[in-house]
Amino acid sequence: MIAAAGADDARLVRNVWLTIAGLVVLRLIAAAVTPITFDEAYYWMWSKHLAGGYYDHPPMVAVVIRAGTMIAGATEFGVRLVSILLGLPMSYALYRTAQILFGSVRVAATAALLLNVTLMAAVGTLIVTPDAPLLVASSFVLFFCAKILETGRGAWWLALGVAVGVALLSKYTAMFFGAAILIWLLAVPKMRHWLASPWPYLGGAVAFAIFAPVILWNADHQWVSFIKQLGRARIEDFRPVYIAELVPTQFAFATPLVFILGVMGLYALARRKAGEAASRVLIETMVWVIVAYFFWHGLHARVEANWFAPVYPAFVVAAAAAAHLVTWQPREQRTVAFCLRWAMPAGVVMFVALIVQADTGWLSGYRRDATVRSVGVGWRPLAAAIEAARVRAGASCVLAMDYGTTAWLSFYLPPGTCVLQPIQRIRWVNFPEPDPSKLTGTQLFVDEAQIGMRFYVSNTFARVEKVGEAARRRGPLTIETYAFYALSQPRGEIVDRTPPPELQR
């Protein structure tokens, strides 16, 4: 019987890893056919000028993109390649975490599979944002905590420090791992001895050292990135309406069936129905500390669905525990069995539907949807029309007013084309200053036609001439129509160096 159980477990593990590999291949195919989003194009521009920090985020997303483009070139596939492949070590870390914490191959295999079928992981590693490396690092934070629990060896605190440091290099949300780990140590009696040991503090020093370049960059730039991110939810801005968005967005991002299993798992762990205390408390703290912050944030400002990425490794471990370790009443057991059986097909269908919709618009009958503005469908032919207008006008540089349009122009216009956002210069502080010779002649200004003439344009240039118009389309749907203006006879400096709002308070 033991041999048969071992053979069944081995077969399960093999099938799960083959499935995860297949899901990674599916994401690679989607990466090659899906146009880049404006955020990805923006981070791709960062990757060409690596630095210790940026206005919006720490630098890890730029490092990930730089690695991918070094392998596969400055293409959509190259931008996304390494982020998607990191899903494999992420899955291994989560598998080993669940195996250590709950002593079950089935829990481990299920947790790894469930993470990969969530949209948070599937789309989150495909569309490269700071949440992609954060999700991977979060899995290793949880893994190294499990290794500390399993082995009792202090050296694993150094590995944990590396994982937390990399998470901090990905996104500032990772700071909450420190609070979660401290609560874990305080809440579990057998873990409290670590508070009198030097190892946790050495691990903290490692994390600080890895994060130090971000601190130094902020110190050199008036702490602007810290001020921007930490000041998002101001106490005086009390808008509890955003709380209503938290559960529906996570219901979708986790996929409905994984979400149900995860909630059931958190309930079971809180009621001490599965696992030892140290394992239960670790999972609960890794979820609820960050959720508590986002609940507070949601009372004052919108919480984007992808911000919950660092919660997901612990959340799906709880889901796997609910599926395999808890004895439920018959109705709840039927729910668990249904969710476990259909979670992967449902997740794959949702992912494929999202990619098809983003690329084609078929599923909405070519009407507008949530993906239509952020995914760069139609930008390649639009960029060709912009380049033709630039050549006709004899413009030396292309100007845009927002970072998204600037990034798309930089990605899709011919390499070496001068592209400039003349305002919000803090976004480009790590980039070389624009060549003055490019700013003395005619400029081509690109903007949405419906906006009309910008104050910047009329205030900065004495001569403004509309030289063309072109639409960005997805099938028969016109997403936006862009107008092109030849600007000449500047009244002064073209670049507006007004400090960002964060530094004007």
Q: Which residues 6+ apart lie within 8 Å of 486 measured at CB?
A: 393, 395, 442, 443, 444, 445, 463, 464, 465, 466, 467
- Cα(477)–Cα(394) distance, rounded to whole angstroms? 31
In the structure encoding, which two tokens stand for residue 336, read together?
Answer: 């668990």
Q: Which residues 6+ apart lie within 8 Å of 484 measured at CB?
A: 386, 389, 393, 444, 445, 446, 466, 467, 468, 469, 470
- Cα(479)–Cα(475) distance, rounded to whole angstroms? 10
Query: Where do the H-state alpha helices sit in 127-223?
Result: 131-151, 156-170, 176-187, 199-220
What pLDDT shows up at residue 413? Answer: 97
The answer to whether the beta carbons of residues 35 and 379 sit under 8 Å apart is yes
The answer to whether the beta carbons of residues 122 and 30 sit under 8 Å apart is no
What pLDDT shows up at residue 1? Answer: 43
What pLDDT shows up at residue 505? Answer: 64
Quote the distance between the C-alpha of residue 388 and its chain's center: 35
- Cα(440)–Cα(420) distance, rounded to whole angstroms? 14
- Cα(324)–Cα(215) distance, rounded to whole angstroms? 44
- Cα(214)–Cα(195) distance, rounded to whole angstroms? 27
What pLDDT shows up at residue 233? Answer: 58
DSSP E strands, 220-342? none
Quote the distance between the C-alpha of residue 217 and its chain's center: 22
Picking from 301, 303, 304, 270, the residue whose alpha carbon sits closest to that of residue 288 is 270
How many alpha carbons fall within 13 Å on the CB side of residue 107?
25
Taking phi first (over 0 means left), then psi (-120 to 50 degrees means alpha), and beta for anything else, what does residue 468 get?
left
Q: Is the Cα dihedral 263, 264, 267, 268 positive or negative? A: negative
The answer to whether the beta carbons of residues 53 and 218 sit under 8 Å apart is yes
Q: HEC states along 379-446?
A: HHHHHHHHHHHHHHHCCCEEECCCHHHHHHHHHHCCCCCCEECCCCHHHHCCCCCCCHHHHCCCEEEE
- Cα(43)–Cα(66) distance, rounded to whole angstroms? 10
- Any idea which residue has 């072109």 for tokens? 470
Picking from 317, 340, 316, the residue whose alpha carbon sits closest to that of residue 328 is 340
- Cα(301)–Cα(21) distance, rounded to whole angstroms? 38
Picking from 278, 290, 340, the residue whose alpha carbon sits closest to that of residue 107 is 340
- Cα(158)–Cα(164) distance, rounded to whole angstroms? 10
- Cα(36)–Cα(42) distance, rounded to whole angstroms? 10
- Cα(275)–Cα(97) distance, rounded to whole angstroms? 13
- Cα(157)–Cα(410) distance, rounded to whole angstroms? 43
Let me know the angle formed at the C-alpha of 142 by 136 and 147, rounded to the nearest 5 degrees: 125
pLDDT tens, position by position, for the chain (505 residues)? Answer: 445 556 788 898 999 999 999 999 999 999 999 999 999 999 999 999 999 999 999 999 999 999 999 999 999 999 999 999 999 999 999 999 999 999 999 999 999 999 999 999 999 999 999 999 999 999 999 999 999 999 999 999 999 999 999 999 999 999 999 999 999 999 999 999 999 999 999 999 999 999 999 999 999 999 999 998 887 656 566 778 888 889 999 999 999 999 999 999 999 999 988 889 999 999 999 999 999 999 998 888 888 889 999 999 999 999 999 999 999 999 999 999 999 999 999 999 999 999 999 999 999 999 999 898 899 999 999 999 999 999 999 999 999 999 999 999 999 999 999 999 999 999 999 999 888 888 988 999 999 999 888 899 999 999 999 999 999 999 999 999 999 999 999 998 999 988 888 887 6
What pLDDT shows up at residue 5? Answer: 55
In the structure encoding, which two tokens stand for residue 45, read together?
Answer: 């521009």
- Any idea which residue has 């003349």 for tokens? 422
CA-to-CA separations, 392 to 357, 371, 389, 408, 481, in angstroms, rounded = 35, 33, 5, 21, 19
What pLDDT shows up at residue 273? Answer: 82
